[in-house]
Amino acid sequence: MDRISSEVEPVLGSAGAPPSRLRGTAVKVTVSSVPWLIIGGLLWAGLFIKPEPVGGTVQPPILERRDHFYGIARAPAEGIWVAGSHGKIVAIDAQGKAQALQTPTDQTLQDIAVWDGGRGVAVGNEGVVLTTADAGRRWTNMEGVPRSEVANKLTRVRIAAEGKAVATGEMGALLVSKDYGATWTRLRDEEDVAWNDAALLPGGGLVVVGEFGRILVSPDGGNNWQTPAVPVESSLMAVAFRNASDGVAVGLEGVVLTTRDGGRSWQREKLDSQAHLFDVAWDEANQRWLGTGALGTWVKAGAAATDWQSGRLDERDLAWHTRVLPVGAEAWLTGANVGRWDGQRWQALGR
């Protein structure tokens, strides 16, 4: 038995090492090879194995919760366009389906307006002005817009026939274009006041509202100006007219003013609300005034603009809204969210 053992051992350890040392060497070799085997396997997989898709690609929603939309206009065909955060312009059809329109800016857009024939204009922060001549398929960032060295936010744009537009904003910005937004000039010198909105009246008249209850009236489109007495000092945020004489202005602290002489004189109307109001519009189809503002507030009145009522769109939704656009039996609102209201039910999109 001793001879057999002595003969077998040299065969097992032919290199002259005992079996225990050979096993240790084998383990070391194996362990040191593992990283290279893993790297080699990954390289082989990367070169020769084609990954198979699992599920669909996750796309961010067009109407994101972080977005705010400040401007709204009727689309050239049907539905509406809204403009807001990060240079977004979104087309929304009658069924509420949204489609993003590509724009050349990431500046927040404050307002948007659309002429017949698919021409449109949008304005916003840093004095940005975008125009389109093909129903939103392509937008151009306009050069040569008058700017201030202090502040340049353009907050509103209003349009009239034959390509006329007026934009209002910070540092007395009151700009006019007569060629669908291609070129712009100042109507007044720069001054330390924010003009928040303008109404273009039939016959060429112009009414402008702004901070500290200030109102300007021009009977000839900006050549001559009048400054009527105003019964409030609250900032006025929006103004609208239903004809050349009858208009409404709304503002902070629930202010509602009316005029019946084209803006030369103003009266304050009674409203059972002190919520800030940011917009007002004349609803021709339903012969009424509609307004909107903070905390989900709506206001409305008949054509005479003397019987004002107020309420909330939905007790569960206290979002602020900067624009109201009557469309048929409903009204679209934009601001912290986008939705439509039929007088009874509020439907917010993307919520």
The answer to whether 348 touches 318, Cβ cutoff 8 Å, is no
User: How many Å apart are CA 197 and CA 174, to the nearest integer?
Assistant: 9
* One domain, residues 226 and 295: yes
pLDDT in tens, 16-54: 444 444 445 444 444 455 555 555 554 544 445 444 444
* One domain, residues 220 and 300: yes
20: which DSSP letter? H
* One domain, residues 305 and 233: yes
pLDDT of residue 36: 59
- Residue 281 sits in a domain whose CATH number is 2.130.10.10
Does 27 reside within a domain? no
* One domain, residues 98 and 157: yes
- Residue 129 three-state SS: strand
Number of independent structural domains in the chain: 2
pLDDT in tens, 131-170: 999 999 999 999 999 999 999 999 999 999 999 999 999 9
Phi, psi of 35 (to 5 degrees): -60, -40
Dihedral angle sign, alpha carbons of residues 185, 189, 190, 194: negative
pLDDT in tens, 59-78: 567 777 789 999 999 999 89
User: How many Å apart are CA 86 and CA 322, to the nearest integer?
Assistant: 17
- Residue 135 sits in a domain whose CATH number is 2.40.10
Does 327 reside within a domain? yes
Element (H, E) at 12: helix 2-12
Give the type of residue at 121: V
- Mean of the per-residue pLDDT values of the chain: 88
Kindly report the length of the chain.
Answer: 351
pLDDT in tens, 316-345: 999 999 999 999 999 999 999 999 999 999
Does 133 reside within a domain? yes
Does 32 reside within a domain? no
Answer with the one of 192, 212, 235 that is the final residue of a domain.
192
* One domain, residues 347 and 201: yes
* One domain, residues 249 and 312: yes
Q: Is the pLDDT of residue 272 over 80?
A: yes
Does 16 reside within a domain? no
* One domain, residues 321 and 350: yes
pLDDT in tens, 85-107: 999 999 999 899 999 999 999 99
pLDDT of residue 128: 98
Does 8 reside within a domain? no
User: How many Å apart are CA 247 and CA 254, to the nearest integer?
Assistant: 17
Mean pLDDT to the nearest integer, 208-226: 97
Domain residues for the domain of 92 are 68-161+181-192
pLDDT of residue 7: 35
pLDDT of residue 250: 98
The more confident residue out of 58 and 292 is 292
* One domain, residues 235 and 104: no
Mean pLDDT to the nearest integer, 307-317: 96
* One domain, residues 304 and 269: yes
Alpha carbon distances (Å) from 9 to 5, 95, 221, 275: 6, 88, 113, 99
Does 2 reside within a domain? no
* One domain, residues 134 and 202: no
Answer with the one of 192, 214, 233 that is the final residue of a domain.
192
Q: What's the distance, CA 4 to chain centroid? A: 93
* One domain, residues 227 and 348: yes
User: How many Å apart are CA 324 and CA 248, to the nearest integer?
Assistant: 14
* One domain, residues 336 and 275: yes
User: How many Å apart are CA 249 and CA 251, to the nearest integer?
Assistant: 7
The answer to whether 325 touches 113, Cβ cutoff 8 Å, is no
The share of the chain scoring above pLDDT 70, in percent, equals 83
Answer with the one of 173, 192, 211 that is the final residue of a domain.
192
Torsion over CA of 175, 177, 178 and 182, rounded to 10 degrees? 170
Torsion over CA of 304, 230, 280 and 120, rounded to 10 degrees? 120
User: How many Å apart are CA 273 and CA 250, to the nearest integer?
Assistant: 12
Does 172 reside within a domain? no
pLDDT of residue 20: 47
